[in-house]
């Protein structure tokens, strides 16, 4: 086994070990949420995965970014074919393993990768301009400063490095096929490298060309492995999570809001629809809604980690468009940041994060006894929650079927039902509903017209 093979294997083992550890932390963070049973209608779910996650159906509504994104997306998929060959070559110490066996098909595959990679390169520069020069409104909202902006730019710069590695490797290889055909099998005419390679590398010493080819080969590999380990801290985690997130997305009507059995039973008992002997008047009412990530469902947290930060939700939000503080994208980013913070604290095992009750019992830190004195209301202001009109525009706009409305409603439920708080403007409405069953303060019962109609017909 050569030194190159040993280095390659060590790099692969280290990179994948770190990636597995980091992805397992993301999974742990998602599962900090409550259990939620999601099943049924597998045919519809597979259809959604194929059309929305894989086919990017909802992206087409904005055709310019859709075409640009599709160029990068398809190039990413096709370059994995070349990556498979790189892995085989690295493990077994060979070069262009598939070339002698596939012949013309190999030329077609690599040529397709080159064309797609060039299209992706063009799209990458356009995306950089859109983010940094054109100042597209949804990319310059307050929540997009600092790390989110840097994150978007870093991944685009990584794409440039990846494509550069591909053309360095292929271009130098084309020249080496003429200089040392015994060790460099013919790839056929490649639409870009067969022109670019001789233009740049003809006339150079063979050892220099070999070095350029190796640099391109390793650059391609290192960027891919770096990208793999970068995903857990990046919005680009949606590349993996978009598929399960679409699969588990809500299939019922967007206007259907989750029912709360405790409230429903309380109202039924007030209306006499449940026999008095079945009502446990001494039972302690649970906390309603969500105060922290532990009160959200795992699907809500997966939504947050699946967010692409594209801003389509905030761009169509009527509250945001009228200058209110609410940005559905920020809500999701805040939930993700809170889940990440909790996960990071759990990893420390610090007893300072154990609740008072847990410390009294001398317990070690777990998700069940975690308490750092903070919650989601430290990230998301009540003003943001109150601004939501529950119109579902954000849900409709999301390209990966994220539902920002659910955590907003759950946090509002906690504020109103558990804290007995809320905007003063809402109190007359609550009083009116309690007294007359109507949101409007009217002197008569809401159903009086029906009673009068029944009396007239008797």
pLDDT in tens, 239-253: 999 999 999 998 988
- CATH number of the domain residue 409 falls in: 1.10.1060
Q: Is 451 a member of any domain?
A: no
Residues in the chain where the model's pLDDT stays below 50: none
Q: Do 305 and 218 sit in the same domain of this protein?
A: no
Q: Do 232 and 309 sit in the same domain of this protein?
A: no
Q: Is 115 a member of any domain?
A: yes
Instruction: Give 259's Cβ-side CA count (13 Å radius).
Output: 6
Q: Do 309 and 427 sit in the same domain of this protein?
A: yes
- The pLDDT of residue 341: 96
Q: Do 231 and 330 sit in the same domain of this protein?
A: no
Q: Do 296 and 376 sit in the same domain of this protein?
A: yes
Q: Do 154 and 84 sit in the same domain of this protein?
A: yes
Q: Is 380 a member of any domain?
A: yes
157-170 residues labelled b (16+ CB within 10 A) or e (exposed): ebbeebbbbbbbbb
Q: Do 305 and 360 sit in the same domain of this protein?
A: yes
Q: Is 327 a member of any domain?
A: yes
Q: Do 170 and 311 sit in the same domain of this protein?
A: no
Q: Nearest CA to 216 among 182, 175, 156?
A: 175
- The pLDDT of residue 276: 62
Tally of structural domains, the chain: 2
Distance CA 317, CA 313 (A): 6
The answer to whether 216 touches 222, Cβ cutoff 8 Å, is: no
Q: Is 326 a member of any domain?
A: yes
- The pLDDT of residue 388: 95
User: What is the model's pTM?
Assistant: 0.88
Q: Is 407 a member of any domain?
A: yes
Q: Do 346 and 218 sit in the same domain of this protein?
A: no
Q: Is 387 a member of any domain?
A: yes
Q: Do 17 and 166 sit in the same domain of this protein?
A: yes
Q: Do 100 and 213 sit in the same domain of this protein?
A: yes
Q: Do 205 and 340 sit in the same domain of this protein?
A: no
Q: Is 447 a member of any domain?
A: no
- Which residue range forms the structural domain that includes residue 118? 3-30+62-238
- The pLDDT of residue 403: 95
């Amino acid at each position: 086994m050569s030194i190159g093979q040993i280095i390659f294997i060590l790099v692969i083992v280290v990179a994948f070990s770190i990636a597995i550890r980091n992805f397992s932390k993301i999974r742990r963070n998602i599962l900090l949420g409550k259990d939620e049973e999601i099943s049924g209608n597998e045919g519809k779910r597979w259809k959604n995965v194929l059309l929305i996650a894989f086919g990017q159906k909802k992206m087409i509504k904005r055709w310019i970014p859709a075409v640009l994104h599709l160029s990068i997306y398809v190039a990413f998929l096709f370059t994995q074919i070349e990556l498979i060959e790189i892995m085989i070559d690295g493990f077994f110490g060979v070069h262009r393993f598939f070339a002698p066996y596939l012949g013309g098909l190999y030329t077609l595959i690599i040529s397709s990768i080159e064309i797609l990679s060039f299209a992706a390169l063009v799209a990458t520069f356009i995306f950089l301009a859109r983010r940094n020069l054109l100042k597209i409104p949804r990319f310059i909202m307050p929540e997009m400063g600092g790390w989110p902006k840097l994150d978007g730019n870093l991944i685009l710069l990584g794409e440039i490095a990846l494509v550069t590695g591909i053309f360095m490797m292929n271009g130098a290889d084309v020249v080496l096929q003429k200089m040392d055909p015994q060790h460099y099998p013919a790839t056929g005419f490649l639409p870009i490298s067969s022109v670019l390679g001789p233009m740049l590398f003809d006339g150079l010493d063979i050892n220099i060309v070999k070095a350029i080819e190796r640099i391109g080969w390793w650059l391609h590999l290192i960027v891919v492995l770096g990208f793999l380990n970068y995903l857990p801290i990046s919005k680009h985690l949606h590349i993996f999570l978009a598929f399960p997130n679409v699969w588990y997305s809500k299939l019922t009507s967007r206007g259907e809001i989750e029912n709360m059995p405790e409230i429903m039973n309380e109202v039924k008992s007030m209306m006499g629809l449940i026999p008095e002997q079945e009502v446990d008047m001494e039972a302690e009412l649970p906390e309603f809604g969500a105060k922290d990530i532990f009160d959200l469902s795992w699907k809500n947290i997966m939504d947050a980690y699946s967010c692409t930060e594209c801003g389509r939700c905030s761009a169509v939000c009527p509250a945001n468009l009228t200058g209110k503080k609410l940005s559905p994208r920020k809500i999701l980013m805040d939930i993700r940041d809170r889940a990440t913070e909790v996960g990071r604290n759990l990893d420390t095992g610090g007893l300072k994060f154990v609740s008072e009750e847990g410390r009294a019992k001398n317990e070690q830190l777990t998700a069940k006894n975690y308490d750092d004195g903070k919650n989601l209301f430290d990230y998301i202001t009540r003003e943001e929650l109150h601004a939501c009109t529950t119109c579902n525009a954000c849900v409709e706009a999301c390209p990966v079927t994220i539902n920002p409305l659910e955590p907003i409603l759950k946090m509002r439920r906690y504020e109103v039902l558990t804290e007995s708080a809320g905007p003063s403007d809402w109190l007359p409405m609550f009083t009116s509903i309690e007294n007359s069953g109507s949101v409007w303060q009217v002197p008569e019962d809401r159903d009086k017209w029906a009673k009068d109609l029944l009396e007239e017909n008797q």
